[in-house]
Amino acid sequence: MAKGIEIREAHFPGRAPITAYGNGGFRFADMSHRGSILCLPSGIYGWSATAEAPFSGERLQKVLEEAEEISFLLFGTGKDIRRLPAALAERLRKGGISCDPMSTGAAVRTFNIMLSEGRPVAAALIAVE
């Protein structure tokens, strides 16, 4: 029996440096993704957060679920740096995660360096045009 197109949540099951960003998305592992992403120890996930609502999106819970493998969370908040809400910063701190908000470009560059050094890093990256 023929099946239609199957839509799945965006997920790359591995760690990879970000090779390009802009135009509303990211390139990594010879693939591209339109929209924001979370780069976690378990892989790279599509994320619904936007520059207008950078701290939303149900997937942030996944950061806390993987807290044992994350010491640093780089939060790329778009073109402009936005301060983390106090409650979110406290939840991450209680999970043992140091979180640094910065522009998405700075977060991508820092993530790539820390990843190449084998450090326990994750990134929440808001897509920019």
* pLDDT tens string 67-82: 999 999 999 999 999 9
pTM: 0.89
Residue 81 lies in a domain: yes
Residue 2 in any domain: the answer is no
- The whole-number pLDDT of residue 4 equals 55
Q: What pLDDT is attached to residue 51?
A: 87
Question: Is 5 contained in some domain?
Answer: no
At 28, which CATH number? 3.40.1230.10
Domain-embedded: residue 1:
no
pLDDT band (50, 70, 90) for residue 6: very low
55, part of any domain: yes
Phi and psi (nearest 5°) for 4?
-80, -175
Domain that holds residue 20: 11-125
Which has the higher per-residue pLDDT, 118 or 6? 118
Question: Which residue has tokens 């990879």?
Answer: 16
pLDDT, one tens digit per residue, over 107-126 is 999 999 999 999 999 999 99
Contacts for 105 with CB less than 8 Å, ≥ 6 apart? 21, 76, 128
Residue 12: band (very low, low, confident or very high) from pLDDT cuts 50, 70, 90 = confident
Overall number of domains in the chain: 1
Query: Is 3 inside any structural domain?
Result: no
Specify if 89 maps to a domain. Answer: yes
Side by side, the strands of the sheet bearing 25-28 are 18-22, 25-28, 31-34
Instruction: Please check whether residue 84 lies inside any domain of the structure.
Output: yes
